[in-house]
Amino acid sequence: MNMAGQPVLVTEGNFTTPLAFPTITGANTTLTAQNVSSNINGFGIISSLGYSANGMLGPTIKINSGSSVNINLVNHLNEKTNIHWHGLKIPSNMDGHPENSIDAGGSFNYNFTVNQRAGMYWYHPHAEMLTGKQVFKGLAGLFIVNDTEENSLNLPSGNREIPLVIQDKRISLGSIPYSPTMMEVMTGLMGQYIFVNGVYAPYQNVETAKYRVRILNGSNARIYNLALSNGSPFTIIGNDGGLLASPHSVNNLIVAPGERVDLIIDFSTLSINSELYLISKTFNGGDAQGTQEFKLIKFKITNQVTDNFNIPASLSSINQLTEGMATISRNFDIQNSSMNMSGNAMTHTINNKSFDINRIDELINNGAIEIWTFDNTNGKEPHPMHLHGVQFQVLSRTGGRAALMSNESGWKDMVLCMPGEKVKIIIPFNSYSGKFLFHCHNLEHEDNGMMGQYKVN
C-alpha cells in the first residue's frame, strides 16, 4: 500500500481582523470544557470547543514559580476529558494521564505546586483516543511561569510582549469537523485555515521597537518554518523549558506541534505604515509537510518610538548535561516501517508496540540520568516526541538535518525527529515518582498508538 501523505494547502485570509488575546487568570480558577460559538471573520458563527463561554482556547494562566495552583475542571462535554499540563513537572496524578479522565458531567480539582523555571508552558486534554479531536476543536491554553531570573532581564513586556498560539483548522457547515481518514491518521490531520489566538488571518499593530513574541505551535500535526516576510533575522531567547543560556539570531526556525519558542523581533528599522508578515517557509518534512509558503499574521507599524532595550548577551544559567553522566541508555524505534495493520485501521507504534494503558514500557529509578535515542532513520513521517513529567537536553542528531537546531539548546520537553533522523536526548529523572507518558505529539499518531508509559520508582 502506498502510504505517501498528501499536503493540505493553506488558504490565506485578508489579514484585516485584529489579533485577540485570551483573558489572563491566576493560580486559582475554574475551566469548563464546553461547546462554544465563535464569530470567525469570513465564516460567521462557528461551533467549537472552549474552556470558557467566549470562544476557542482557554484563559492564559500566569503564575510565579513556587506558587500553588488550584484549578477546577468541569466537564460539560458529552464525552470524557482531562487536562495535561504540558511541560510542567508535577505529580503523576495531576499530570493528565488518560486513566485520570473525567466523565461527562463530572469535575476534578487540579492542585499542585509549580517549582520550575520561567517559561511558556501550555495545557490541553489528554483523554485516551480523544486528544486530537478535542484540541483540534479548540481545547487548549497557555500557562506562563515567571521567576526572578527572567524578571531581572527586563525583557519587553506589556504591549510589547505578544503570545501567539498558532493552529490550523478546518471549517465546514458552521463547525470545526474532526473525522480524519486513514491517510490523515497516518500524516496527522491538517487544516486549510491558519488561526492565531483563535483568530483567522489576524493583524497586530506594533511600534518601531523590539518585541517579545512567544509562540506555541498548538496544531495537531502541522509543522511551521517560521520566518519574516522581508527576510530579516530574529533572535531566539527561549524554548520549551524557558530561557536559553544566550541568544541566537536566525532567519528561520522550524517549530513542531507542542513546541514553544521565545523570540525577539525588531521592528525598529521599519517605516510607519509599513507591513511585515510572520510566515511559514517551505522545508523538507516528508510528503505531507513543508511544501507551501504561507502567511501566519501581519504586523502593521503604526507608531514611531525610541526603544532602549538591548538583548542581553547572557540570558540564563544552565547546567549542561554530558553523555558521561548517564548510567542507562534506551532506544526507541519510531520509524514508519513499524506501523501495523489491524483490520481496516493502521497504527503508529514505538518499538513495534501500540499504547496499552495496562502495560508499563520502561521502569526508571528516581534520580537516574538516562539517554534516550529516538530512531526515525528509515521513517517517512516527522515525529515530534514529548515526555511528560521531565525536562531534558538534546545531545545530538544524525541523519536528515544532521545537527542541533538553534532552539534545541537549554531545556526541552519535546524534540522533532524528521524523516531519516536519529536524535539522542539526556534526561534527569529528578522529580516525582509514578506513571508518566511519552509519545509523538502529532496528535493523530498519539491517539492511534504512538504512545508509551514509563514508571519512576
Residue 34: pLDDT over 80: yes
Confidence of residue 3 (pLDDT cuts 50, 70, 90): low
- CATH of region 17-149: 2.60.40.420
Residue 44: pLDDT over 70: yes
Tens-place pLDDT, residues 131-186: 999 999 999 999 999 999 999 999 999 999 999 999 999 999 999 999 999 999 99
Q: Do domains 17-149 and 323-456 have the same CATH topology?
A: yes
Cβ-proximal residues to 29 (8 Å cutoff; 6+ apart), any chain: 59, 61, 71, 72
Rounded Cα distance between 204 and 19, Å, is 6
The rounded mean pLDDT for the chain is 95
What confidence score (pLDDT) does residue 4 get? 60
What confidence score (pLDDT) does residue 2 get? 45
Residue 261: pLDDT over 70: yes
Pairing of the two strands 253-255 and 224-228: antiparallel
Tens-place pLDDT, residues 363-418: 999 999 999 999 999 999 999 999 999 999 999 999 999 999 999 999 999 999 99
Residue 284: pLDDT over 70: yes
What confidence score (pLDDT) does residue 322 get? 97
CATH architecture of the domain with residue range 158-303 = Sandwich (2.60)
More confident residue, 302 or 54: 302
Tens-place pLDDT, residues 309-355: 999 999 999 999 999 999 999 999 999 754 555 555 578 999 999 99
- Domain residue extents for the chain: 17-149, 158-303, 323-456
**Low-confidence winner among 35-44, 97-106, 358-367 (lowest mean pLDDT):** 35-44
pTM here is 0.97
Tens-place pLDDT, residues 414-451: 999 999 999 999 999 998 999 999 999 999 999 999 99
% of the chain surpassing 90 pLDDT: 94
Q: For 190-194, what is the mean pLDDT?
A: 98
Terminal Cα-to-Cα distance of the chain (whole angstroms): 43
What confidence score (pLDDT) does residue 27 get? 96
CATH number of this structure's domain 323-456, picked from the four choices 2.60.40.1180, 2.60.40.420, 3.90.550.10, 3.40.50.2300? 2.60.40.420
